Amino acid sequence: MSTEEKSIRYQIFFKTQDYVFDQTIELNDDTYEHAAPEEDIPDWCKLAFKKCPNCTLNDIWHEYCPLAVRLIPFVKLPACNSYDDVRAEVTMDNKTVLAETSAQEAFSSLLGLVMATSGCPHTRFFKPMAWYHNPFSTPEETMYRACTTYLFSNFLHNRDGKKLNFEALKKIYINIHQINVHIAARIKNYSDTDSALNAIVLLDLITNDLPIAVDEDLTELKQLFESHKNLFN
């Protein structure tokens, strides 16, 4: 079977210093994951080091945390502040998305893509969203994409007539919160900049908000679908 490939390139230009962060995420439709950096792997990437309490990987078969390994480029960032102004360019699918934003916002968008395609078992739900990556998503856009991804996945795989609810989606995000907290603890003492840490914090704000929004009956999203009331009658 032929393998479709997708390339997503992030270029983050810092205005206050002569530095460009340039990373390309290469995906294919076999694993929907991207390869780890080809370099020596530091000890802080070992699976047993500050291992997430909800990790499902076994230390015997997995020496390194797949997500930590893929965060190596972010730990090596030169000293900069999370609030530094940057110009971010994301090139993918014959289009380029531009944003004038802060370093932490730019890295948060990229880290969301990196985490989803890292091979961490808890982030596999996000692979379809990563394949159709939407850079610099707002919290509202992320909620919409997560809910529609969950519902479509349920349509494809739930053929036994179980009642549809969002409990599994909430559990996914609760697990991701633990991943965010512990992966931040991994890199805290190994980076010269707070940009990557604060990018994870931004991601975690969305992670914490979604289960609450689901419990509040998705009122805002419901309004979008008022015109669909009679669509399936």
| Tens-digit pLDDT profile for residues 157-195 | 876 656 778 889 999 999 999 999 999 988 887 876 777
Among 134, 136, 155, which residue's Cα sits nearest to residue 145? 134
pLDDT tens string 35-85: 998 888 999 999 999 999 999 999 899 999 999 999 998 888 776 778 889
- Rounded to a whole number of angstroms, the CA Rg of the chain reads 19
C-alpha to C-alpha distance for 187 and 180, rounded to whole angstroms = 11
pTM of the model: 0.89
| CA dist list (Å): 190 to 49, 75, 193 | 13, 6, 9
Who has greater pLDDT, 77 or 109? 109
Q: What share of the chain is helix, strand, coil (3-state, %, to 5)?
A: 45, 15, 35
Name the pairing type of β-strands 95-102 and 20-28.
unpaired
